[in-house]
Structure 1
Amino acid sequence: MIAWFGINIIGLNGKVRFFCQDETRIGLKTISGRKITARGVKPKGKVQWQFYLYGIVEPSTGESFFYEFTHLNSECFQVFLNLVSAHFPDSIIIMQVDQAGAHRAKRLKIPQNIILLFQPAHAPETNPIERVWQHFKLGLRWELPKDLDQLRVLMRERLEEMTQEVIAAIVGWDYILEALSVAAI
């Protein structure tokens, strides 16, 4: 139905593709807990440094696109949408997104070849890319980078290990693939 709308009503041309999108925070976190200090003195921890990895994955093929940003906000999401649109210029992209404020901002200018499909609120388990983040972070679990640059190197190495076949195995849920085959996407 969404593909029909995009082709017949909006007048889009190209191959219709379904992608799942999400962001994840990558960084070093200060371990919180109790610390003995003088009465009335609040303990201070090191500043956490972090960045966000935005990504899309196609369940039917395992094709993916990732990009690093400093924040999770509508400005970064707008840039990401523009990058995705430019990366897949000959495709109509139906992109499953969660209901984060960055995805619903009124000032977003959705590229012409992208149609956002909002998943139910508070239901991350309905988005297969959540499993990609879980698999991705498992490989970083015991790494102890000294700084943000070293973490970025580890992240890029991990992304290179995640081939299309690996991603397809993680996100190619039977019911999604069956629905896509029936929808002829």
Structure 2
Amino acid sequence: MSAAVPLREDFNADALRHLAKTSRDAGQSRRLLALATIYDGGNRTDAARIGAVGLQTVRDWVLAFNADGPVGLIDGKAPGQRPKLNDDQRRALAAIVERGPDPDQDGVVRWRRTDLAAWLFARFRVSLDETTVGRELRKLGFAKLSARPRHYAQDPAALAVFKKGLPAAVRAIRATLPVGTDIELWWQDEARVGQKNTLPRRWARRGTRPTAPKDQRTEYAYIFGAICPKKGKGAGLVLPRCNAQAMNAHLVEISLAVDPGAHAVLMLDGAGWHVAGDLVVPDNITLLQLPARAPELNPVENVWQFIRDNWLGDRIFTSYDDIVDRCCDAWNRFTDQPWKIMSIGLRKWAHRL
């Protein structure tokens, strides 16, 4: 018969009973009380009776306690079932999701969980249900997101060149100004708001399809909006049409919003009224054209989405005047929140200057 393993000497019965009283783990408390009996001079049989276990289990407790102290008497987390996908298979799954499906080869234009489950079985002979595939995708950092529209003829290289060249362009503009002139980066765009309105997403119970009224009339107006994200300010007008005359009015409004003594670099797309020959650009503004078909470089596009989702979408406008009033109210509510302008508008690639 093997000799009993002695308990470590840096604890005693009173210390173990105190720890058992304060412990939030019932299993640990029971084991501490059993070992306290041994410290008091009791035998292992007495400890086994208090712990309601066998002698071999008491021996295991003693070994764990000697090695790790009271912490060694806490049940560890069960390892659980072995994952069905190994690291290499997870990396392959992540790669194919990042790449996206080939409509001709894969027969779908977007991956569904059932498609990925079929791919995993065909590639690795691993059978997963859709719920498990979804769980694996979430662990890999994927989520089901709405795709951002991108013009089919967009030149990605032009976007990269514009971002990289912006500091040089701003330096060239600054060189033409008096020394010490503060430069403000502004973006400008227009949005049409009319009776054929948008229907924003909304919370609803799963399995239902919420409804909202939809107008078919055709009255509309345009919001001319511009923001300076770094300083959290904006300038806007609501006008009946888009043309050079309207753009001139908006440039005057932006000019008034530029800080005294500062100069605005106003970035905007190549719409006809932005490059019209009769455009009058104030002295404290320089226009800088964005690359063609690149709305993602203009944060005002995100402003329109925010305004529609929160104040303008899902409304029935009774008349043109009602449209103007609602648009003015929405723009004013937005510019009253400079932190929101900063949150939506700041871009690292632009404000690293």
TM-score (norm 2): 0.43
Deviations 1:103-132 (A, max 9, x none): 111221221111111111111111111000
1:124 aligns with 2:295: yes
Once residues 87 and 18 of structure 1 are traced to their aligned partners in structure 2, the CA distance between those partners, rounded to angstroms, is: 12
1:112 aligns with 2:286: no
Once residues 69 and 81 of structure 1 are traced to their aligned partners in structure 2, the CA distance between those partners, rounded to angstroms, is: 13
Deviations 1:49-95 (A, max 9, x none): 11111111112232111111111111111121122223325320000
1:144 corresponds, among 294, 316, 322, to 316
Conserved 8 A contact 1:57-1:64: yes
1:160 corresponds, among 332, 337, 344, to 332
**What is the Cα deviation at residue 175 of structure 1?**
2.9
Once residues 7 and 167 of structure 1 are traced to their aligned partners in structure 2, the CA distance between those partners, rounded to angstroms, is: 25
State the number of aligned residues: 166
Specify the code of the residue in structure 1 equivalent to 2:238: E
Higher helix fraction: Structure 1 or Structure 2? 2
Structure-to-structure mapping, 1:23-172, within 5 angstroms: 23-29=190-196, 48-88=218-258, 89-139=260-310, 140-162=312-334, 163-172=337-346
Query: CA separation of 1:13/1:86 partners in 2, compared to 1, >3 Å: closer, same or farther?
Result: farther
Deviations 1:7-58 (A, max 9, x none): 433558732100011011111129xxxxxxxxxxxxxxx7611111111111
The equivalent residue for 1:34 is none
The equivalent residue for 1:173 is 347
Q: 5+ residue gaps in structure 2?
A: 1-167, 198-215
Query: CA separation of 1:12/1:55 partners in 2, compared to 1, >3 Å: closer, same or farther?
Result: farther
**Bigger shift: 163-172 or 95-104?**
163-172
Query: CA separation of 1:148/1:13 partners in 2, compared to 1, >3 Å: closer, same or farther?
Result: farther
2:184 corresponds, among 3, 14, 17, to 17
TM-score (norm 1): 0.78
Once residues 268 and 190 of structure 2 are traced to their aligned partners in structure 1, the CA distance between those partners, rounded to angstroms, is: 10
Specify the code of the residue in structure 2 equivalent to 1:105: A
Conserved 8 A contact 2:317-2:323: yes
Once residues 10 and 62 of structure 1 are traced to their aligned partners in structure 2, the CA distance between those partners, rounded to angstroms, is: 24
Query: CA separation of 1:74/1:160 partners in 2, compared to 1, >3 Å: closer, same or farther?
Result: closer
Once residues 268 and 324 of structure 2 are traced to their aligned partners in structure 1, the CA distance between those partners, rounded to angstroms, is: 25
Q: Radius of gyration: which is bigger? A: 2
Conserved 8 A contact 1:13-1:92: no
**What is the Cα deviation at residue 98 of structure 1?**
0.2
Once residues 347 and 172 of structure 2 are traced to their aligned partners in structure 1, the CA distance between those partners, rounded to angstroms, is: 25
Specify the code of the residue in structure 1 equivalent to 2:280: K
**What is the Cα deviation at residue 2 of structure 1?**
3.4
Conserved 8 A contact 1:12-1:92: no
